[in-house]
Structure 1
Amino acid sequence: MKQFLIFIKKEWLHIWRDKRTLFILIWMPVVQILLYGFALTNEVKNSKITIFDQAKDEASRAISERIAASRYFSLVENAYTYKDIENTFKEGKIRMAVVFPAGFRNDLLHANHAQIQLITDASDPNTANMLANYAAAIINDYQQDLNRNQDLPYTIHVQVRMLYNPELKGAYNFVPGVMALVLMLVCAMMTSIAIVKEKEIGTMEVILVSPLKPFRIIIAKTIPYLLVSMLNIGSILLLSVYALDVPITGSLALLLAESILFTITSLSVGILISNSAKTQQTAMFTSMMSLFLPTLLFSGFLFPVENMPVALQVISNIVPARWYFIIVKAVMIKGLGFAAVWKETLILVGMTTTLLGISIYEFKTKL
């Protein structure tokens, strides 16, 4: 029994001395429950909207104030023309627009019915449906308050218009998200073992005595994986168009160029992991744990980023998949050009340059 207790004590001390094991056992569950608790929610809140009030009367102002005061919506700006609404949707500033026709209150009081139009970004069909339902519920509450002392009830008709995806196909949101997830994981995992594999099999010495500089060694490591990834991009797009019926509305050349840029970013992440890892198993585990969950949670694919606390929204900015997801939806689904995605492109270029720079700097020329 004494020997048994000694073995338990030995294992206990081993856990507390091994910082990595201690982190996994104690801090990982804490981190995960906080992330999942704040990020994993189907509730939509703080969604950015605009209001186009052509009536500017008491009734339209009352409904506008109720919508703006709701925790589900955040009023970005007021629109003054339909062109303003179109531009704000293209720029990705809003998820919904509320349009009041001229003479709204007059129609309500004299004809006993009036109409409100809700225009939503249906490239994410689930969110678009939920926003339209939330707004319709607020309008319905106003209508009920108005009818309490009326013999002849007033009726407000809500007309919903779904932009970019009128049939509300889930694939329109699913395909861009899967593209970001697949390219990030596959590219990073492939390259995460590229350098550490050479160390394990003993061929790194041969590479280090070659006349190639670290920059060229790293680029040479990534080019074959880049070519394989280009085949993956082509197969994903073909399946999306011909199997899932998701059309490429915008420029195919721009979409391919942006996909290649994101692939290079993902390969850079893998090279950085491979530089620091000591074994292939460690590199694979690190790439899976450090990329899968952040890509799934913070890209905006499954859960809207604006629903999260400000701290998590800031963290999401360093996840490359978030910016690529925005680019694919803008080009492939909305049919927008480079002018609409230049900021996201510049961010990916900056990430790629930084990651490659760190990888070259950290590349060990001596074993």
Structure 2
Amino acid sequence: MKQFIAFVRKEFYHVLRDKRTLLILFGMPIAQILVFGFALTNEVKDSEILVVDYAKDNASQEIITKIAASRYFKIRKAALTHTEILSTFQKGKIKAVVVFPANFNDELRHNNKAQVQIITDASDINTANMITNYLSAILLDYQNQINVNIEMPYQIIAETRMLYNPQLKGAHGFVPGVMALVLMLVSVMMTAISIVREKETGTMEILLVSPFKPVLVIFAKALPYLFLSLINVSAIIFLSVFALELPVKGSLLLLFAESTLFIITCLALGIFISIKTDSQQIAMLISLMGMLLPTMIFSGFLFPIENMPYPLQVISNIVPSKWFYIIVKSIMIKGLGIQSLWKETSILLGMTLFLLTISLKSFKIRLQ
């Protein structure tokens, strides 16, 4: 144990003395959280929405048909109460709900106006805004269609409700995504480079022939980056709360526990890359290109996954940052607990065990 503690201490000293490493570890997260928090926009198509039709009359059916005919939405129909609608949103299966009140057609024909309620999940602000705009445009088109040659035009009023983010702040969508991106890059890249560096300098051979167990060498190299990544998590949460006014609605302890699990997943991936490569340049290239693009494209925080072709949607399931992004958004913005996130947590745990197993197995093979 004394040897292990000494090795971990040595790795901490190495990290803290390297200014470039400190810049990557702490400069990049702060810069990204401040820049990405306000910047990007998305296009929406094939978004899954729920239609609750209490009216079941000609007018509501015609509007539903027009919505279904657009390329923007995939419609699910159900008769739910408002409590059940909220529960459906918490599961993350739908992007919006369109509610037609009872007597919708009668209100429209007799009073010349009627209301339609549009409820969206504003934890993803860009998608919520786009969906609201598209649905409002479809309602306006139907309104213009029925008002041809009518002296007293009919009016359909869309009552919009934004769940989880009523102020429509962009940070709600990008803080969880930046957290996943930063932790993936820092944990994978720094772990991979630190181990490969030992190979290039020849010190790995000395460590392997020493009484120090080879497996503990790997764990000692990775442990400092676990603690430093948790510091990054704290910094991101601090900035989100005090700079971007995005409080953590769920359990802070659960958020840190899930972040720790994701960091360990990334560290295991970094260990695997380091075992399979022999130079720092190759390890850095694989870590940056192999982790940056999948995290940005397939996690869902820049581009809605449901917009992608089906094969790419399947590929996104093997990207750990996708599941971590869902977890962070659910805890920070929706305030959900582990009972709602057991599936995503189980997937991350399975990925972690798989990566650790193949990494340690490959390392043992290299020792022979």
**Residue 162, structure 1, aligned to residue 162, structure 2:** yes
What is the match of residue 263 of structure 1?
263
**Residue 204, structure 1, aligned to residue 204, structure 2:** yes
TM-superposed deviation, 1:76: 3.0
Contact 2:277–2:283 under 8 Å retained in 1: yes
Q: Distance in 1 between matches of 2:294 and 2:126?
A: 21
Relative contact order higher in (CA < 8 Å, ≥ 6 apart): 2
What is the match of residue 183 of structure 2?
183
Look up the equivalent residue of 1:202 and give its one-letter code: G
Task: Answer with 193-202 or 154-163: which moved more.
Answer: 193-202
Within 5 Å, which residues of 2 pair with 1:1-367? Answer: 42-363=42-363, 364-366=365-367
TM-superposed deviation, 1:212: 4.6
Look up the equivalent residue of 2:164 and give its one-letter code: Y
Secondary structure of the residue aligned to 1:193 is helix
Q: Distance in 1 between matches of 2:329 and 2:65?
A: 31
Q: Distance in 1 between matches of 2:178 and 2:336?
A: 20
Look up the equivalent residue of 1:160 and give its one-letter code: T
Unaligned segments of structure 2, at least 5 residues: 1-39
Secondary structure of the residue aligned to 1:341 is helix
Contact 1:53–1:80 under 8 Å retained in 2: no
Unaligned segments of structure 1, at least 5 residues: 1-39
Q: Distance in 2 between matches of 1:177 and 1:205?
A: 39
Q: Distance in 1 between matches of 2:77 and 2:271?
A: 43
Secondary structure of the residue aligned to 2:288 is helix
Q: Distance in 2 between matches of 1:210 and 1:139?
A: 74
TM-superposed deviation, 1:102: 1.3
- Identical-residue share of aligned pairs (%): 59
Secondary structure of the residue aligned to 2:168 is coil
TM-superposed deviation, 1:324: 0.5
Secondary structure of the residue aligned to 2:161 is strand
Q: Distance in 1 between matches of 2:367 and 2:348?
A: 31
TM-score (norm 1): 0.86
TM-superposed deviation, 1:219: 2.0
Q: Distance in 1 between matches of 2:76 and 2:273?
A: 40
Task: Answer with 40-49 or 262-271: which moved more.
Answer: 40-49
What is the aligned residue count?
A: 328
Contact 1:193–1:283 under 8 Å retained in 2: yes
TM-superposed deviation, 1:206: 1.9
Instruction: Report the structure number with the largest CA radius of gyration.
Output: 1
Contact 1:208–1:365 under 8 Å retained in 2: no
Q: Distance in 1 between matches of 2:278 and 2:360?
A: 17
Secondary structure of the residue aligned to 1:278 is coil
Look up the equivalent residue of 2:126 and give its one-letter code: N
TM-score (norm 2): 0.86
Contact 1:226–1:263 under 8 Å retained in 2: yes
RMSD, aligned CA: 1.5
Secondary structure of the residue aligned to 2:199 is helix
